[in-house]
Amino acid sequence: MNRFLLLLLAGLSLLYPFTSGSEVVDKIVAIVNDDIITLSDVERYVRVEKQGRFTSADEYFRNAGLKDKLDAFIENTLIEQQAKKLKIEISDLEVQMVVDSIKKQNLITEEDLKEQLRKANSSYKSFFEGIRSNLVRTKVLARTISPDVVLSEASIKEYYEANPDEFRAEEYWLQQVFISSRRQEAPARAQAAYNALQQGKPFEQAAREYSDDPSAKQGGDIGYVKKEDLVPELRQAINLLIPGTYSHPVQTPYGYHIIKVLDVRKSDALPFDAVKESIQEKIVQKESEKRYKEYVAKLRASSYIEVKI
């Protein structure tokens, strides 16, 4: 699964239902202004594997580790209350546009997304509503936190000079066995090459024997490659590799690749003008996070919150 999508699913699973066969008596666990939070509310907010049967809500919270999550649920409730006061609503069309963007970024279809949600013990409806909740939060913060962070050219340059390693791209020295998708037997040939490697065949020899890439003559050696120059599937694959290891067969629009990492190095630092915009975005993000924490602290201070566990 694409790493970005995996993280997104994990995050949204904190917002919507996970079902379980465990029997826990429902109980009021907190009051936030005029809203009552029950144990089942928190279960729907947090994806939790419940094992065994607990005799009380307190025991359940201790064993399932939900106490740490209740605080986040209270914070989310405060944001939703503010959305109602500000009359902020998110349409189905706005949510669908985000869903479509996620599918495009991860090169997956609607069916692929639903299957990955199923494996994550979630549902498409929960995923959809989780995105709506995130969009509500974004609009509340945009309305209540000043977006204006004034940065001078000098302050951006100062950050650049103080953090040079951030602006050095990683380069990977790679070997590959490539099986063209034009081959009718491409999947079987790729698997055969992988099996040969697993049985101890040197990578160079496997490349010469199986690879359709011109680099086969050099034992599959394709030299140093910048990570961002690789297709998404191969970028994802090398995230899991360290020098000296190779991947399973990875399918791309061009065929099947078995990638081996020989070395990783840092390139020369990118020029300031090339990264100036990204530095500005990073500084603005940090400042926004700081203002968000201050805003939530004010909401808490001005609200009636009673935790009953």
Q: What is the DSSP string of 33-99?
A: TTEEEEHHHHHHHS-----S--SSHHHHHHHHT-HHHHHHHHHHHHHHHHHHHTT----HHHHHHHH
Q: How much is the pLDDT for 68? A: 67
Q: How much is the pLDDT for 189? A: 96
Residue 135 Cα to chain centre, angstroms: 16
Strands (E) located in 200-254? 221-226, 250-252
Contact 1, 240 (CB under 8 A): no
**Residues 179 and 111 reside in one and the same domain:** no
**Residues 257 and 131 reside in one and the same domain:** no
**Residues 182 and 237 reside in one and the same domain:** yes
The pTM for the full model equals 0.49
**Residues 186 and 96 reside in one and the same domain:** no
**Residues 194 and 64 reside in one and the same domain:** no
Q: One digit per residue, pLDDT tens: the chain, 309 residues? A: 454 454 455 455 444 444 444 444 568 888 889 888 887 777 666 543 333 333 444 554 554 456 667 888 888 889 999 999 999 999 999 999 988 888 887 777 888 888 888 877 778 888 888 888 889 888 888 888 766 677 888 989 999 989 888 888 789 999 999 999 989 999 999 999 999 999 999 999 999 999 999 999 999 999 999 888 898 899 999 988 999 999 999 998 899 999 999 999 887 778 888 888 889 888 888 888 888 889 899 999 999 988 877
**Residues 87 and 174 reside in one and the same domain:** no
**Residues 79 and 116 reside in one and the same domain:** yes
Residues 6+ apart with CB under 8 A from 110: 103
**Residues 7 and 95 reside in one and the same domain:** yes
DSSP 189: H
151 closest CA partner among 66, 276, 241, 257: 276
**Residues 139 and 238 reside in one and the same domain:** no
Q: How much is the pLDDT for 14? A: 44
Instruction: Calculate what percentage of the chain has a pLDDT beyond 90.
Output: 33
Residue 150 included in any domain: no
Residue 203 included in any domain: yes
Amino acid of residue 28: I
Residue 282 included in any domain: no
Residue 156 included in any domain: no
- Per the structure, the complete domain to which residue 139 belongs is given by 3-144+292-307
Separation between Cα atoms, residue 234 and residue 249, nearest integer Å = 10
**Residues 232 and 189 reside in one and the same domain:** yes
Convert the pLDDT of each residue in 261-279 to its tens digit.
999 988 777 888 888 888 9
